[in-house]
């Protein structure tokens, strides 16, 4: 693998990632909520920031863009559909694009739902997915600018990636997500076991992110709207997956 990925916890529950491509020495910051802790960590590591990769326009993902750009002269890459809402954007990318970052390549997916222009970056060779606020460990983002059908389609795209993909999402929401997932009453021993592991990790003060996409496929209710067991558990046996997804999302909004 050619990427060295470091996780920086900032604000209440955000994760910013520093990603170094080892062959070229290129260093990307994914979704800098803030600048100072990111610049400090790069300095401590002796890494020179060359890129910012943004997934969407929310302040807790782009708040550090301009200060980091001023300090480093880095290139800001972000969603084409959201050009006007990404501070300092220089390179706009969208669905199907392959963005070369040093010797690595990020494949870009449009994943609307949380916001209309949300994108995800998949480093196929390194099994790393940076998905912002679209897919969380055991959860998904709120639908601020999209419909359940859009979000279900977006999550289905991500679900099609290999089980070994590590899901680098932007928030530590996992423990609350686990409580919600259990509340749905689905018969799912994998979920019960995972919830116990999550509680243990949090009790030790450890992050639960990244998670493995394979585990998300088995346990994340938002990836399981086409599972008959989950549909029955929420009283929608034989309903279309989009309807099941919408019901699960609706329940989470008021959980």
Catalytic site positions: 56, 58, 60-61, 114, 133, 171
The DSSP call for residue 35 is: S
Q: Which of residues 22-81 bind Fe ion (CB under 5 A)?
A: 60
Q: Which residue lies nearer to Fe ion by CB, 60 or 186?
A: 60
Segment 179-208, which members bind Zn ion (CB under 5 A)? none
The C-alpha angle with vertex 34 and arms to 30 and 222, in degrees rounded to 5, equals: 50
Rule CB under 5 A: say whether 127 interacts with Fe ion. Answer: no
Give the list of residues 6+ apart from residue 206 with CB closer than 8 angstroms, or none. Answer: none
Q: 21 or 60, CB closer to Fe ion?
A: 60
Q: Is 170 exposed, middle or buried (0-12, 13-18, 19+ CB in 10 A)?
A: buried
Asked if 58 interacts with Zn ion (CB under 5 A), we say yes
Other CB atoms within a 10 A radius of the CB of residue 205 amount to 6
Q: Does 133 bind Fe ion (CB under 5 A)?
A: yes
Question: Do 94 and 121 meet the contact criterion of CB atoms below 8 Å apart?
Answer: no
Contact between 82 and Zn ion by CB under 5 A: the answer reads no
**Judged by CB under 5 A, how many residues of this single chain contact Fe ion?**
2
Q: Give which of Fe ion, Zn ion, none residue 249 binds (C-beta under 5 to 8 Å, depending on kind).
A: none
User: Could you give the angle at which helices 148-159 and 241-253 cross, rounded to 10 degrees?
Assistant: 110
From 22-30, 52-60, 78-86, 119-127, span contacting Zn ion (CB under 5 A) = 52-60
Which range of residues in 51-59, 68-76, 181-189, 220-228 is near Zn ion by CB under 5 A?
51-59
Among 33, 62, 30, residue whose Cα is nearest residue 49: 30
- Closest Cα partner for 131 from 213, 221, 76? 213
CA dist 143 → 5, 66, 190, 195, 231 (Å): 28, 27, 27, 24, 20
Determine the size of the site formed for Zn ion (CB under 5 A). 2
DSSP 34: -
Our CB check for Zn ion shows the closer of 72 and 115 to be: 115
- Residue 184 CB, shortest distance to Zn ion, in Å, is 24
Which of Zn ion, Fe ion, none has residue 110 at its interface (CB below 5 to 8 Å by kind)?
A: none
Q: Is residue 133 within the footprint of Zn ion (CB under 5 A)?
A: yes
Q: Which is nearer to Zn ion, 133 or 172 (CB)?
A: 133
**Residues contributing to the site for Zn ion (CB under 5 A):** 58, 133
**Residues contributing to the site for Fe ion (CB under 5 A):** 60, 133
């Amino acid at each position: 693998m050619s990427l060295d990925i470091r996780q920086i916890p900032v604000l209440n529950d955000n994760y910013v990632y520093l990603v170094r491509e080892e062959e070229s020495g290129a260093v990307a910051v994914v979704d800098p909520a803030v600048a100072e802790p990111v610049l400090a960590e790069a300095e401590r590591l002796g890494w020179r920031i060359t890129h910012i990769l943004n997934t969407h326009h929310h302040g807790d993902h782009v708040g550090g863009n301009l200060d980091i750009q001023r300090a480093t002269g880095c290139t800001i890459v972000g969603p084409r559909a959201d050009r006007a809402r990404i501070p300092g954007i220089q390179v706009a990318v969208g669905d199907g694009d392959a963005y070369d970052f040093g010797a690595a390549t990020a494949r870009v997916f449009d994943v609307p739902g949380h916001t209309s222009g949300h994108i995800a970056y998949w480093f196929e060779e390194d099994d790393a997915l940076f998905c912002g606020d679209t897919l969380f460990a055991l959860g998904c983002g709120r639908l601020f600018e999209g419909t359940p059908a859009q979000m279900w389609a977006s999550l289905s795209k991500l679900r099609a990636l290999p089980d070994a993909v590590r899901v680098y999402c932007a928030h530590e929401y996992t423990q609350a997500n686990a409580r919600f997932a259990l509340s749905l009453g689905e018969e799912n021993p994998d979920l019960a076991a995972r919830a116990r592991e999550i509680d243990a990790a949090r009790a030790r003060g450890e992050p639960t992110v990244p998670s493995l996409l394979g585990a998300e496929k088995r346990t994340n209710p938002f990836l399981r709207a086409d599972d008959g067991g989950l549909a029955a558990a929420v009283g929608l046996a034989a309903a279309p997956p989009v309807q099941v997804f919408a019901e699960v999302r609706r329940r989470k909004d008021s959980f």
